[in-house]
Structure 1
Amino acid sequence: MTRAEKIDETAAAGYRPLLFSIAYGMTGSVGDAEDIVQDAMLGLVKARRSGTVVANVKAYLTTAVTRLGINHLGSARVRRETYVGAWLPEPLVTPAGEKGPAEHAELADSLSMAFLVLLEALSPVERAVFMLREVFGYGYPEVAGLVGRSEANCRQIFARARRQIQTGAEQNTGTPDRQAEAAALADRFFAAAAGGDIDGLMSMLAPDVVLIGDGGGKAQALATPPAGRLAVARLFAGLFRRFVRIGISLRPALVNGRPGAVFHDAADRIVAVMALDIADGRIRAARSVVNPDKLQHLGQVSDLGLRQKPDHMVRPAQPSTADETVP
């Protein structure tokens, strides 16, 4: 390796968190984001070895990641259209006390599950332009160079994308709680669920709270998300009764920058990952990923929630049978 290559390699390593955040924001997949970043890094090495002068390593890698992300989304769109049930991104999990990319203030909202779901309504280029401009603060000339469009076209694309995002986000009008306050509320919520305290659960839920589960047709998940304080409180109480019976435990964690938990079975295998959206002192949504394909990057996955017939979803649970479905 030449001295110039060593310098590039050192500089590139420093940009890895930024590159991963862009790739993950584009794809909603941890594994795909890591692959895209790695491909961009390899592209830099090949360019250098072929004699290409790379004056700006950051710009080179950011452009490569952006365009690889656009290409990936184009090929992934058909798979998304045939996805079984609700789609959620692969969870970014940060154990309590540690720092991850979604914990930084400037990225906390942009990597949340709710935000990434909204981005699914955008085309690949719209998503890239919106992410680069709105989340990462690139100017229009830079965005134009990254996506290979004119500056005027990027302005139009951004305006159109922002209108779509604002329309989809109209129901999320609450003010997010500070991280410490939200984490304390999440702890109280999970404790109330473990104790079967329906009234306590309801006191922490917003009137229009909803529970969304992503099983991908491969794990148990609700076909129709339960909504409303009473339905969600009863469901959580039932779930935690079942957890006690079959030895499932939870570990608090930040999930995509939001308070949440990772659920483990008695053999310490991962069952599910849940994130809570908290605003104005109330839980507005709980989003749970149980699709085993989306949990593999976190460790060994349990088979407790796997469906025997993965071609259809579980029917909506009634209060009396709410403890039969993994979140």
Structure 2
Amino acid sequence: MEMSGERPAREPLPEPADETGTTAYRPLLFSIAYGMTGSVGDAEDIVQDAFLGLTRARRAGTVIADLKAYLTTAVTRLGIDHLRSARVRRETYVGDWLPEPVVVPADGQGPAERAELADSLSMAFLVLLESLSPVERAVFMLREVFGYGYEDVARITGKTEVNCRQIFTRARQHISAGRKVRGGPAQRAAGEELARRFFEAAGGGDMDALLGLLAPDVVLHGDGGGKAPSIGSPAAGSLRTARMLVAGLRRARRLGVLPRLAWVNGRPGAVLYDGEGRVAAVVELDVADGVVQAIHSVANPDKLGHIGPVSDVGLLGDA
């Protein structure tokens, strides 16, 4: 993962990847790779590399009895290697780092592997995973998110079952310390309705209505990557957050940018488009207990290209 946000062009593939009999596994493989990297482009590359490895193994005469196990192992280990090489680059990232958003439009249409992304891979959860080592992240995610047994986790990661149990316990304690205890995420219909009211209130400058939708200790996170205006550090508190949101969306409206509701990383949110239909930002709302607990806004243009043409209009700046 290029932590600057820029990804070098891939070398032309030397051979077509053999996906015979594996199509049904692609959503799972993408989810694992995305959970490991927090990057849509890197996840796609890792899945493609796993299929290329399968092609080479088949051509070499290797008999693969369990394709799902083979590909899951390949994707996980490629993800671990990727994270190890990305650590230093992540430390030089400008501002607050957020994952590349996975967007499913309100009509539900979109690439199947993204539409079926595990709901557990919210932006807040992926940010917490950043605090784990690559192996801890793999073990915790396979066990916690995808429900693999310790025997399978051990086989996939190349560790012993005993070691995996220890790693998982340590990782869970670390993640639990960073998690806010609250109710579960909103159901989709309720979340989408709350998002509609949220963007109407923020866009219309209705402070009373907006404050009623925000938890008292709500936190606003913004990722501009040093390439788009964004808040310098997370903003906490409902009044401060509401003021920043109203100012930011008022500025966006003046620039001809409007939100369109979408499902973002398994949470309600919106994609903000300019007057030419280009993507300017993506906002995810972390909703629980009937209110917005956290807001994640990604305006870094390098993290939006997989959604569509990217706008050159800066948004949600230093309001």
Do residues 228 (structure 1) and 246 (structure 2) align?
A: no
Aligned counterpart, 1:33? 43
Aligned counterpart, 2:11? none
Letter in 2 for 1:161: A
1:253-281 deviations in whole A, cap 9, x for unaligned? 00001000000111211110000011111
Specify which of 189, 199, 206 is matched with residue 190 of structure 1. 199
SS state of the match for residue 211, structure 1?
strand
Specify which of 257, 276, 284 is matched with residue 248 of structure 1. 257
Aligned counterpart, 1:257? 266
Do residues 43 (structure 1) and 53 (structure 2) align?
A: yes
Contact residue 222 and residue 233 of structure 2 kept, 8 A: no
Q: Take 2:197 and 2:115, find their aligned partners in 1: how far apart are those partners?
A: 21
Specify which of 159, 169, 179 is matched with residue 188 of structure 2. 179
Q: Take 2:73 and 2:50, find their aligned partners in 1: how far apart are those partners?
A: 9
Contact residue 103 and residue 256 of structure 1 kept, 8 A: no
Letter in 1 for 2:79: G
Aligned counterpart, 1:310? none
Q: How far apart are residue 185 of structure 1 and its match? A: 0.8
SS state of the match for residue 296, structure 1?
coil
Letter in 1 for 2:134: P
Specify which of 86, 91, 112 is matched with residue 81 of structure 1. 91
Structure number with higher helix proportion: 1
Q: How far apart are residue 102 of structure 1 and its match? A: 6.4
Q: Take 1:233 and 1:113, find their aligned partners in 2: how far apart are those partners?
A: 20
Q: Take 1:114 and 1:101, find their aligned partners in 2: how far apart are those partners?
A: 21
Aligned counterpart, 2:228? 219
Letter in 2 for 1:277: D
Q: TM-score, normalization: structure 1? A: 0.88
Do residues 62 (structure 1) and 68 (structure 2) align?
A: no
Aligned residues between the structures: 299
Do residues 304 (structure 1) and 313 (structure 2) align?
A: yes
Specify which of 108, 122, 127 is matched with residue 119 of structure 2. 108
Note the 1:282-293 alignment, pairs <5 A: 282-293=291-302
Q: Take 1:226 and 1:257, find their aligned partners in 2: how far apart are those partners?
A: 23
Q: Take 2:183 and 2:22, find their aligned partners in 1: how far apart are those partners?
A: 39
Out of 30-39 and 79-88, give the one that drifted further.
Answer: 79-88
Q: Take 1:34 and 1:209, find their aligned partners in 2: how far apart are those partners?
A: 33
Unmatched 5+ residue regions in structure 1? 1-7, 307-313, 323-327
Q: TM-score, normalization: structure 2? A: 0.90
Aligned counterpart, 1:141? 151
Q: How far apart are residue 54 of structure 1 and its match? A: 0.8
Q: Take 1:24 and 1:147, find their aligned partners in 2: how far apart are those partners?
A: 17
Change (3 A) 1:302 1:124: same
Q: Take 1:223 and 1:303, find their aligned partners in 2: how far apart are those partners?
A: 20
Specify which of 10, 18, 42 is matched with residue 20 of structure 2. 10
Out of 237-246 and 13-22, give the one that drifted further.
Answer: 237-246
Q: Take 1:175 and 1:144, find their aligned partners in 2: how far apart are those partners?
A: 30
Q: How far apart are residue 236 of structure 1 and its match? A: 1.5
